[in-house]
Structure 1
């Protein structure tokens, strides 16, 4: 069988000689509509089957008796005149007994940039932000540490690290 010539290949299928090639042209649009006017028949199958619950063997299980004994809780809170320990000092001034001058004082605080601010500054500087952008961590109060001092003797008591 020889391939068709250029003229035969470019002509529409209806214009070509169908008898030579054993090719059947597709039906027209209206002919295909006439065949499918009726809907398909209804089938009585359930596309969503009902799931049955699993059956369990219902045997009698004896209950376990647990006897709980209540625990006594002992809570002690500092009294109004009692001073807290130095380790409990946070971001605000606190009442402690100075270990240097042995007086009950309310600490004086001073906020200063901590290790987190210096670390972030170095990271920003090494990444190329050196035109003042690396100084931004020093302006963020969450990167500052709180230093507690005794107002009488001026000695350093505690540092609270926020970050």
Structure 2
């Protein structure tokens, strides 16, 4: 079979030989020659790492639905928490139930105005750290 017959059959052209690999540069060390055979590099003394744990609160803090007096776990100050009320799944479910039962959308906004249907997130007023939350039952 010749080359024209191979092209008519849809075969790829024959491969050409590849070029040889390039020659490496004369020196990998540049201006710095390798160290002598008996040379031992000085070893740095081992480092000591000290790991300390932050003090943990041995008993969990009972947080209520309103501002609560406690000790901040971040700054260790005695504080009265700042509370932000955010809607949760219960708020959305009660709102949907009121919308279905009432037959209109007028009553579905009521749970979003009630603190008893929301989660109370407690924050430290001094360092603004999150202290905990209260889930209504």
- Shorter-chain TM-score range: 0.3 to 0.5
Normalized per residue, the structure richer in helix is 1
**TM-score where L is the length of structure 1:** 0.40
Higher relative contact order (CA 8 A, sep 6+): 2
